[in-house]
Amino acid sequence: MAKQKTTEEIYLCPVGRFFRDLEKKGLGKKSKFREHMSRSRIEFLKAIRSLIDERIEELEKGPSKGSSKKVTKIEVE
C-alpha cells in the first residue's frame, strides 16, 4: 500500500509566529536581543491580562444606567 501524504494547516497570530520563528533561529541564550524579546513577550502578555481584568470588572459591576435602551415601535406602511 502506498502512504498518502497529508498536509495540516496551522494558523498562528502574527505575534505568536514572530516569537516562534525567533526561537527556531537559535539565537544565543545570552544575547541582548533575546533578553529584550523575552521581556517584551512578558509585557505583551501582561497588557492582554490588563485588558481582560478591566473587562471582568465591567461585567461584575453589572449593567450601567445608560445601557438600558427603550424599544420604540414604528409602523411601516
pLDDT digits (tens, 9 = 90+) for 12-67: 788 778 777 777 776 666 778 778 878 888 999 999 999 999 999 999 998 766 55
pLDDT band at 1; cut points 50, 70, 90? low
Three-state SS annotation for the chain: CCCCCCCCCCCCCHHHHHHHHHHHHCCCCCCHHHHHHHHHHHHHHHHHHHHHHHHHHHHHHCCCHHHCCCCCCCCCC
For the question of whether the overall pTM of this predicted structure is more than 0.75, the answer is no
pLDDT band at 9; cut points 50, 70, 90? low
